Every structure is written in C-alpha cells, then in structure tokens.
Amino acid sequence: MSAPADAVAGEVVLRLTDVVKTFPGVRALDGVQLEVRAGEVHCLLGQNGAGKSTLIKVLAGVHRPDSGELEWRGRPAAFANPQAAMRAGIATIYQELDLVEDLSVAENAFLGHEPGRLGFVRRGHTARRTRQILARLGHPEIPPGRLVRHLPAAGKQIVSMARALSHEARLIIMDEPSAVLAHDEVGNLFRIIRELTAQGIAVIYISHRLEEIREIGDRVTVLKDGRTTAANLPARDTPTRDLVARMTGRTIEYVFPDRPADAPPRPELLRVDGLTRHGEFADVSLTVRAGEIVGIAGLVGSGRSELLETIYGARRSQAGTVRMGGRTLRPGSVGAAVKAGMGMAPEERKSQALLLGEPIYRNVTLATFGRYARLGFTDAGRERAAAGRMAAALDLRPRDVRRPVRTLSGGNQQKVVVGRWLLGDTRLLLLDEPTRGVDVGARAELYQVVRELAARGVGVLLVSSEVPEVLGLADRVLVMREGRVVREAPAGDLDENTVLDLVMAGSLMEGAPA
Amino acid sequence: MTETTPTTLPAQSPPADPAGTAKARLSWWRGDGGEGAKRNLGLLATLAVLVVIGVLTRPDLYGDASWVWGNTLTILKLASVVGVVTVGMTFVIIGGGIDLSVGAIVALAGVWCTTVATQSYGAGGMIFSALTVGLAVGVVNGLLISYGRLVPFIATLAMMVAARGLAAEISDKQTQVSNNQFINGIASTDVLGIPLLVYILAAVVLAGWVLLNRTTFGRTVAVGGNPEAARLAGINVRRHTLLLYALSGLCCGIAAIMLTAQATSAQAAMANLYELDAIAAAIIGGTLLSGGRGTIIGSLLGVVIFSTITNLFAINGLSTEAQNMVKGGIIVAAVLVQQVQFGSLTQFLARNRATTT
Ligand SMILES: Nc1ncnc2c1ncn2[C@@H]1O[C@H](COP(=O)(O)OP(=O)(O)OP(=O)(O)O)[C@@H](O)[C@H]1O
Ligand SMILES: [Mg+2]
C-alpha cells in the first residue's frame, strides 16, 4: 500500500542536530540527530528510557533542549511552549493520554483553540467540526458531546488524534499510539496514517512492535541511551537482528520461556462461574490452577479488562460467583480478593496504578508495605531494599528507588506496577496488558519472570491484545468476543490466524493482521 | 548496558543483601522528605525575614534579650491552638479531602465541655467530653464522606453550619464560664519557663509527624493523590478516609480544651474562621490542595509564620485590617515562591550532586 522507503522524496521538514537534554542526574538526550521528510512515516525505535518520549517533548515545546539545533521547515526554530509548537504545525499524541476526563469529546478535540466569536464558544460549530474529524478518523459513531471519561481507552486515543487533526498540522507525532489499541483498531490507525501522509503530512511514529514499524514505516531512526545509533534505515528491509542490535547492543527478539514438560496437575486456584455484568460480559466461567498461565485473547471492547476487574472485585458482578481456593469471594471487594491472594496489574497504569509523585519504592510496596512494618511502624529501609531487589530483577532504569515514578519512562513505570505484586504473597496474578510499552529486551525478562512465578505455583490470568504473546506465554487460552468466551483450548492447539479469526468473526475488519 | 543473564526473582521473604540493608539503615533518618525539607528551608527563610523586619521596626524592643524570649513564647502560644487544628487539617488535605468544620467542632466541643452539667464531673469529665465530641463529629464527617459518598467540601460545610447551630443551642447563645481551676490552669501554667500550651502543640506535632511518616496509617494517607490506585492495590480507602476525619475531629477536641482554658470560657462563636487559618497554614507549608503531598513540619511553620505576622503588627501597634491584607499576600507569595524558585533550586542542587545512575 505505501511506497518503498527510498521513494520518500518529500522535502526535509524537520532536522535535529546534536540535541542534548538533561534532567537532574540523567542525560535523557545526549546528541540526537533526526531528519524527517514531508509525507513519510518516520519511526523512532529504542529501549525503555532511551529518550524517545523526551525527544518528542522537545519537538512539542514541552521541554527546552540544553543545546543542539532544531530546524523546522528550513529555518532554525525554538518552541517556547506547546502552543508555539502547535501554531508552527506540530501536533503530538502523547504516550500517556492527556485528555481532560470531564470535558466532552468536542471540547477536548478543540481544547485551547475553541472556535469562537467575540469570546463565546460556538458550540454547534465545534460539534460539527469534531464530527467531521471523527468521521475522517473512521469513528463517526463517537458522539462529540460524550464525556471523555465514559470512553474506552481506544476511544480516548481517537479523541487525541482528533485533537491533532483539529490543528492544521504539518507533522504529527505519535508516541506508542498502538499500545492502547487492538488489532482491528491498529488497522484503522494505519489507514488514517496513510491518508495523512498522502496529503504530505509527516508522521513520527513510536512503537515497540517491530512488525508495525515494518508495515507502516518508511524510515527508522534508532536511539540508545539518548544517542542516535542509526539514522534513516529503510523500515522494510533492515533485518530485525540489525534493528534489535542497534537498540540493545545484543540480538534477541521475542523469546518465550519454555513451558515445563508435563507438570503434575496442581490444585485448582480460581473458579469463576457464570460471571455477568450487563453490557460488558455475560456468563463467563473459567478456572485457573496453581502454576498455570491462562491467557485471554480478544479485541478491546470484548469485555476482557472488565472481566478481570470484576474477578478482582473492582467492579461488582451482577450474577455468578468467584471462588479462590474453594471459598467464595464477596463481590465488589478488592480487599477480599487481595486477602485471598489476588493481585492485579491494571490496564491504565497512570490513573489506576501509580502514585506519580511518590518515590519508586513506595509504589512498589504499595500493596505490601504492611509486611515490612513492625507494630504499625513502617520501615523505609527494608522497603527500599525489597524494592531495590525488584528493580534489579526487572532491570528497572534508573535503579535508584527513591526517584519519583513520574520521572520514569513509560515502560519502566509498567515494570513498577508488575513488580508490586511480585513482592507479595500473591497466589493469583491478574495481568492486564502487562507488556504495553515495554521494550523488546525487558519484555523477554518479564515473560521469564511470569514463567518463574508459575513454576513456583502462582496462577496467572493474562489479558493481552497481542495474540502472539497470549499464545507464547499461556498454557491455556480463552478467546473472548463481545463479552462471551467463544473458545477454550490449550495454547498449543491454537495458532495466530485461528485466534484472529475467532476474535474478529462478525466484526468489520480493516487492515491486515500483522 | 544490559546483560543477558537470566532474570532471577528475589526471595519472597525480605532480608538477605546485608550491604543494601545497611545502606538503607544509614539513610533511615533522612526519610524521604528531600523535597519537603528544602521547601521547609524556604519557610524558615521567610520566618527569618519576618524577624528581621521586627528588629528593624522595633530595635528598642529587640535590644532586650528577655523581651525577645518572652515574645517568642507569645508567638508560639498564639500558634498553639490553630497549630493543633492544622495538624489534623494537614492529614485530611494530604488524604485528598478538606475539613471546613474544624472551627465549628472546636466551638461545639468547647461549649459541650463547659456546660454546668459537664463541669460537675470535674476536669477529667470536661477533657473527656471535649475529646469525645470532637472525635464523634469527625466520625460523622467521615461516614458522610466515605460511605455516604458526599463531596468533602459539601459534607463539612454542612457540618460547619450544623455544629455551630448546635453549639448555640446548647449554650443558649451565652458565654459559659469555666470554673475549673485545672482546666484554666492549662493556659496559665509554665513548665521550665515554657507555657504548657506550647508543650501540647509540640506533642501533637510530634505525634502527627510520627503517624504520617513512620506508620502504615501514614502511608495510606499519602495515597490521597490517587485513591483509585490505592483501592486497586487492596487498600481499604473508605475506612482510611473515615479515620482521617476522625483524626481531624480529635485534634479539634484537643484545641477546644486549649482555647477554653485560654479564655476561661466557651461560646458558640469561638474559634471563628479557624478553618481558613488552618487551610492557609497547610498550603503555605507546602501541602498540595489536590492531595498526596504535604508535611507536618511545613504546616507548623505555616502556622508560626502567621502568628509571627500577627505579633509583628501588634508590637508595631498596627490595625488588624492591614494585617489580614498582608496575610493574604503572603499566601499567594508563598505558593508562587514554592512553584518557581524552589523548583529550580531543587534542580540546581540535584544537578550539582550529579548522581548519574
Ligand atoms: N521529568 C523528568 N525528570 C527526570 N528524568 C526524566 C524525566 N523525564 C524522563 N526522564 C528520564 O529520561 C530518560 C528517557 O526517558 P523517556 O521517557 O524519553 O524514555 P522512552 O524512550 O520514551 O522510554 P519508553 O519506551 O519506556 O516510553 C529516562 O531515564 C527517564 O527516567
Ligand atoms: Mg516513552
């Protein structure tokens, strides 16, 4: 569908030379070179903490570089603030969505530049233009008046895109946009990106999924430790080994740890019977044994996350029971679930899991600090030591656990959330998109950790939008569609295409499965 | 650089790693208040400026060492009652709430403990009833907010009106004189040359500091910045919300005894606008109104700064109106200074340390 890499002939719209940006104690960018041409999809690749998000924040006027040159459409430029960057034609969709939850879709799309007359917002006009943009984005069904709070993650992202399009952008930057999307949504995203580039708009695209970069990207720039290690590689033809090696200094891709050769059947840990929440999922029954990894595949909106949250007691079921080790749990009580040995890493880390201003170690021990306390007195030293070991096990960067979580890169924040439950006496771990935003190397480490936990007898219930992840990691797979389990089978009996067919049957599908 | 060594999980039970633990031990006393400590330095600087202004405007008084000592005690005494209330308020605000009813609770507890009937039980009965009334009203606030799901602002606003009303009802809008010598003595007794009220403030501040910084309860307070994350981590957020308001109510009960002792009487209009003084002091002290961040020491400094200003105006014989305008200005200035200067000062200090990981 898109042109080969060397056919990118657009003029250079953006050029960065030797850009440096330091934060207290960290050189986040340490000499970055980047060249982006009109009409291309330029991919940024790099491990967690490599500096990708920092780089785009420099472009978006959020951070000011310490040194280096930024050339925008042939002229040296410096953006004092995000408004200046936007006026110049650079729109950004951030990794952590930055929507105002209590404003409507239209208000968010036009936030800061509402069409107005004499100081009055022209609501009808705003709504109309929002509807046009949403239609262009392939989502005419989202009502412009709906509060963003009530949209699912994928819907929120569409609103972020709408905001970018509401400006007359020449360059649109997308920081891990596909992380919140399911397969068909990714297809839709790619269709939109192709439309944009056909109009001569340049796109900077960040993702940890190499197959996406191959599908949509034209050229790739690789960052490592804040430095450009390779620039303008052809996205399609550069061997994966080369890309990974330049990112990490080593050569691995997805490695799923081996499943243990027939382990003796262990006792049943979790039994869910006929669990129902109207409009979300219906009549779901499943079991997880000790030491077993059960994966749930399905589209965003198929009720997977809601199911997980209901099992965990964060939502109250309307029918059905959840039993842990034979004992029925009180519905709608997270406390009861945690006491029974459950732990959950939720889907949206920023709003559901992290205290951004608190130090790393306090986030890691959020569920367990009582265990390090004596007679109600906390012991920060022991907590830090425990969190430090966790940081080492998950290769968290930076290692200093007294830093506020706010200053970590997206993938490292995710490791903090997962690490939290590895500390406790968790017997059943509910993981909702555990590798979202986690880089290739750390991903392999995370898989290894999950496997080790299982080997120790911990049960794992895993939700992931990445089918290969579910198939590679889980022992048994449930496929969900529209709130119901449509298939249950050992992971070995399924392949990616079968799962995709099951998941998407009946839904209108855009784009090809990767 | 990443090694390809296979990941090994730490043991699920703590210890091992003696070096790390020892290092952690060493830094125990430092706590995690790095940022807070720097902010508090700024507050101390403000305080120093106020003292310098005092010295410049009244060099005659400041020349006399015994006057300076006496005046310092006056300032602390002035700060003591509001200080106790502010400790409770700081907990509530860090926990993501607000308590507008503190002044009213102080009045209700003060009036309740000085009725003829209560006074007949002696000092013990009076103290007990003041603390119980404060605690009980706090619990009602907490129940309304945590289990009744009322917005803290609304619930405590309603309580503010209701508690003052009840206090007026009980006292029949009269001033109730305290005839109990022990209670009245609380305000007039000095121990080792320092007023007992100042000891009470110190005790409450110390208890509050330990509770916030060294206990599991304090940890659950600090999650006020993101209650959803706390809930999903298995913390019983509602129960802790309830406890926060109960704690604030208890502080008000203590303050009621102190204030009654100072005035040797109680009335429904006492402790007027204490809620605003307490909130202002907490904010000056660096407590974030949206919750999640704040320190007890900062709040204490905030209260002391306010009473120093009051004192400054008093020794110069200036009007209260001008004083209130200055206080308003100080609130704005303090917040601005914290946002701008100390942000960059923190960065500057940290950069010089250059701890690259
Ligand atoms: N505001 C900040 N203060 C201090 N350090 C920061 C800040 N923002 C980022 N950093 C640090 O800068 C480095 C680069 O972070 P950045 O978010 O750019 O990584 P990234 O490449 O986007 O990673 P990811 O793939 O995990 O999103 C990290 O070490 C991070 O901890
Ligand atoms: Mg990032």
Cα–Cα distance between A204 and A72 in angstroms, integer?
A: 14
pLDDT at position A252 is 55
Domain with CATH 3.40.50.300 in chain A: 1-89+171-252, 267-341+426-507
| Pocket flag, ligand 1, residue A28 (CB < 6 Å) | yes
Kindly report, residue by residue over A20-31, the tens digit of the pLDDT.
Answer: 999 877 888 999
pLDDT of residue B227: 85
Residue matched to tokens 């800061």: A112
Minimum CA distance residue for ligand 1 atom 10: A407
Q: What angle do CA A88, A201, A144 make, to 5 degrees?
A: 80
CB-CB contact of A270 with A461 (8 Å): yes
Helical pair A380-393 and B18-26, crossing angle rounded to 10 deg: 130
Which residues from B are below 8 Å from A384, CB to CB?
24
Q: Is the distance from CB of B326 to CB of A391 less than 8 angstroms? A: no
Please judge whether B4 and A250 are an interchain contact, meaning their C-beta atoms are less than 8 angstroms apart: yes
Q: B201 CA to chain A: closest CA distance, Å?
A: 22
Q: Do A422 and B31 touch (CB under 8 A)?
A: no
Say which of B20, B292, B355 has its CB closest to residue A357. B292
| CATH code matching the domain that covers A267-341+426-507, chosen among 3.40.50.300, 3.10.180.10, 3.80.10.10, 1.10.760.10 | 3.40.50.300
**One digit per residue, pLDDT tens: chain A, 514 residues?**
444 444 446 889 999 999 999 987 788 899 999 999 999 999 999 888 889 999 999 998 889 999 999 999 989 988 888 888 888 889 888 876 678 888 889 888 888 777 666 666 677 888 888 999 888 888 888 898 888 888 877 788 888 888 888 887 899 999 888 877 767 778 888 988 998 899 889 999 998 888 888 899 999 999 988 889 988 889 888 888 788 888 876 555 556 777 777 667 788 899 999 999 988 888 999 999 998 999 998 876 678 888 999 999 999 999 999 999 889 999 888 989 988 989 999 888 888 888 888 889 999 988 888 888 888 888 888 889 999 988 888 778 788 898 888 888 877 888 888 888 888 778 999 999 888 777 777 777 788 888 888 888 899 999 988 888 889 899 999 998 888 888 888 888 888 888 887 876 644 333 333 3
Task: Name which of B335, B281, B340, B286 is nearest B309 in CA terms.
Answer: B281
Single-letter code of the amino acid located at A346: P
Burial of B182 (0-12, 13-18, 19+ CB in 10 A): middle
**A164: helix, strand or coil:** helix
- Rounded Cα–Cα distance for residues B297 and B201 (Å): 12
Using CA positions, which residue lies closest to atom 27 of ligand 1? A410
Our answer on whether the CB atom of A52 is closer than 6 Å to any ligand 1 atom is yes
Q: Are A272 and A311 in contact (CB under 8 A)?
A: yes
Q: What is the C-alpha separation between A13 and A202, in angstroms, rounded?
A: 8
| pLDDT tens, per residue, chain B with 357 residues | 333 334 444 444 433 344 444 444 443 334 444 566 777 888 888 889 889 988 888 888 888 888 889 999 999 999 999 999 999 999 999 998 999 999 999 999 999 999 888 888 988 999 999 999 999 999 999 999 999 989 999 999 999 999 999 999 999 888 998 888 898 989 888 889 899 999 999 999 999 999 998 888 888 887 787 888 888 888 888 899 999 999 999 999 999 999 999 999 999 999 988 999 999 999 888 888 888 888 999 999 999 999 998 888 888 888 878 888 888 887 787 777 666 544 444 444 444 443 333
The amino acid occupying position A65 is P
Min Cα–Cα distance to chain B from A404, Å: 10
Tell me if residue A117 falls in helix, strand or coil: strand
Which element (helix H / strand E) includes A294?
Answer: strand A293-297
CA-to-CA distance for B44 and B25, rounded, in angstroms?
A: 28
In this structure, which residue's CA is closest to atom 24 in ligand 1?
Answer: A48
Beta strand pairing call for A41-45 and A202-206: parallel
B22-72 pLDDT tens trace: 444 443 334 444 566 777 888 888 889 889 988 888 888 888 888 889 999
Distance CA A249, CA A47 (A): 10
Spatial contact of A341 and A500, defined as CB atoms under 8 Å apart: no
pLDDT digit string (tens) for A52-78? 999 999 998 889 999 999 999 989 988
* Percent of residues in chain B assigned helix, strand, coil, to nearest 5: 75, 5, 25
Size of interface A-B (CB pairs under 8 A): 152
Q: Whose Cα sits closest to atom 12 in ligand 1?
A: A28
Q: Is the Cβ–Cβ distance between B196 and B190 less than 8 Å?
A: yes
Residue A407 CB–ligand 1 contact under 6 Å:
yes
Which of A47, A335, A388 faces B236 most closely, judged by CB atoms? A335
- Beta pairing partners, A430: A344, A461
Q: Tell me whether strands A75-76 and A67-72 are parallel, antiparallel or unpaired.
A: antiparallel
The C-alpha R_g of chain B, in whole angstroms, comes to 23
Position A97 scores a pLDDT of 67
A99 contacts: CB under 8 Å, gap ≥ 6: A108, A148, A156, A159, A160, A163
In degrees and rounded to multiples of 5, residue B26 shows phi and psi of -55, -40
Which ligand number lies closest to the CA of residue A57? 1
Do residues B226 and B313 touch, judged by C-beta distance below 8 A?
A: no
Compute the distance between CA of residue A299 and CA of residue A465 in angstroms, rounded to an integer: 7
B94 chain-A contacts, CB cut-off 8 A:
none
A202 lines ligand 1 (CB under 6 A): no
Asked if A366's CB is within 8 angstroms of B223's CB, the reply is yes
Q: A71 and A40 in contact (C-beta within 8 Å)? A: no
Q: In angstroms, what separates the C-alpha of A32 from chain B's closest C-alpha? A: 19
C-alpha pair distances (Å), A438 with each of A255, A443, A444, A460? 14, 6, 10, 19
- Give the separation between CA A51 and CA A225, rounded to whole angstroms: 7
Nearest-Cα distance to chain B for A250, in Å, is: 8
- Which of B1, B21, B219 to mutate: most A Cβ within 10 Å? B219
Contact between A288 and A267 under an 8 Å Cβ cutoff? The reply is no
ipTM surpasses 0.90? no
CB contact under 8 A, A373 and B293: no
pTM: 0.76
Interface mutation target, options B1, B8, B9, B356, chain A, most CBs of A under 10 Å: B9
Q: Which residues of B touch A453 (CB under 8 A)?
A: 9
The number of angstroms, rounded, from the C-alpha of A464 to the middle of its chain's C-alpha atoms is: 11
Using a CB-CB cut-off of 8 Å, the residues of chain A touching B355 are 25, 400
Question: A334, A354, A390, A429: which to substitute to probe chain B, counting the most B Cβ within 10 Å?
Answer: A334
Phi, psi of A321 (to 5 degrees): -130, 155
Alpha helices, DSSP H, located in B63-195: 65-94, 102-113, 116-119, 122-142, 152-171, 181-188
Alpha carbon separation from A473 to A39, A211, A295, A452, A461 (Å, rounded):
38, 19, 8, 12, 11
A1-89+171-252 CATH fold: Rossmann fold (3.40.50)
Percent share of chain A, pLDDT over 70: 92
Tens digits of residue pLDDT in A174-224: 988 887 776 777 888 898 899 889 988 999 999 888 888 889 999 999 998
Tokens 């090694």, located at residue: B3
How do B194-195 and B190-191 pair as beta strands? antiparallel
HSE, CB side, 13 Å, CA atoms: give it for residue B255: 34
Who's near B45: CB < 8 A, 6+ residues apart?
Answer: none
Give pLDDT tens digits for A78-120: 888 888 888 888 988 887 667 888 888 988 888 877 766 666 6
Tell how far the Cα of A55 is from the centroid of ligand 1, in angstroms. 9
Nearest residue on chain B to A310, judged by CA atoms?
Answer: B232
Element holding A229 (H helix, E strand): strand A227-234
pLDDT tens for each residue of B83-101: 999 999 999 999 989 999 9
Which domains does chain B possess?
Answer: 48-343 (1.10.3470)
Q: Round to whole Å and give the CA distance between A186 and A180.
A: 9
